[in-house]
Amino acid sequence: MRYKLTIILFFCACLVWAQNDSTALQPEKQRIFQGCGGGMMVHAGYLFGQPTAATLPSGENISPQGLTYGLGGSMRVHLWKHLRVGMEGFSSTMKSEATDQHNFLQKGSYIRTGLGGVIADACWRLEKVWPFIGGSVGGGAMRTLSIVEGSQDDWTPEGVAVLHKQGFGYINPYVGMDYCITRRIHATFRLDWMLAFANKQLVYPTGPRLYIGIMFCH
């Protein structure tokens, strides 16, 4: 994720330089590039579980669901009056043993999701408040550790544990608002609903998330 954000920052810096240069040479033309912005966000949400694709060694099917939280960031280029396009990347973790409805899972069980993709939204600049609506498309990977007998807190081998990795694609519609603290620094709030899809899976990373963060704008 660090390398992706570094590449995005470099890309946006090049765009800023190119736009400033072209504007100086051709001031009569309408500007397409309207700046850029990026930063970090924390998020929390709810992950809906689905039955496992195969039963555990003990014969049960589990469908963990519950609170998920994490950290990530995004970078966008502002084009014309309303359009913003860019990239995003996030990582989320859910401690699935705390929310297992059937009480099959032991302490240390988790679902960890990493994802990234391209984003586009329409933004309206209304003085201090900038509402926006848009979506993202991309892919990611999910790691699921289900400890049925045992615990990660000790050095004893686990009795029954299942580790599964899977890839997925996603579509993620969202709405949100930027609040302009200063011209260069914005507080951002976003609400989305992850819609994931995969051919084979233990769980879909599907559900709502609320994001709060700081964006640095040019």
| The CATH number of domain 2-217, selected from 2.40.160.20, 2.60.40.1150, 3.90.209.20, 2.70.98.70 | 2.40.160.20
State the pLDDT at residue 14: 44
Residue 127's pLDDT is 84
Pairing type for strands 66-79 and 83-94 reads antiparallel
| Confidence at residue 104, expressed as pLDDT on a 0 to 100 scale | 62
pTM passes above 0.85: no
Task: Tell me what pLDDT residue 176 has.
Answer: 95
- The domain locations on the chain are 2-217
pLDDT at 84: 94
Quote the pLDDT of residue 145: 80
| CB-CB contact of 72 with 40 (8 Å) | yes
* pLDDT score for 189: 96
Q: For residue 88, what pLDDT is reported?
A: 94
pLDDT tens digits for the chain (218 residues)?
444 444 444 445 444 444 444 444 344 455 788 888 899 999 999 887 654 444 455 555 556 678 889 999 999 999 988 999 999 999 999 887 655 555 666 677 788 889 999 999 999 998 899 999 999 999 999 888 877 766 656 666 666 777 778 888 899 999 999 999 998 999 999 999 988 887 765 556 788 999 999 999 88
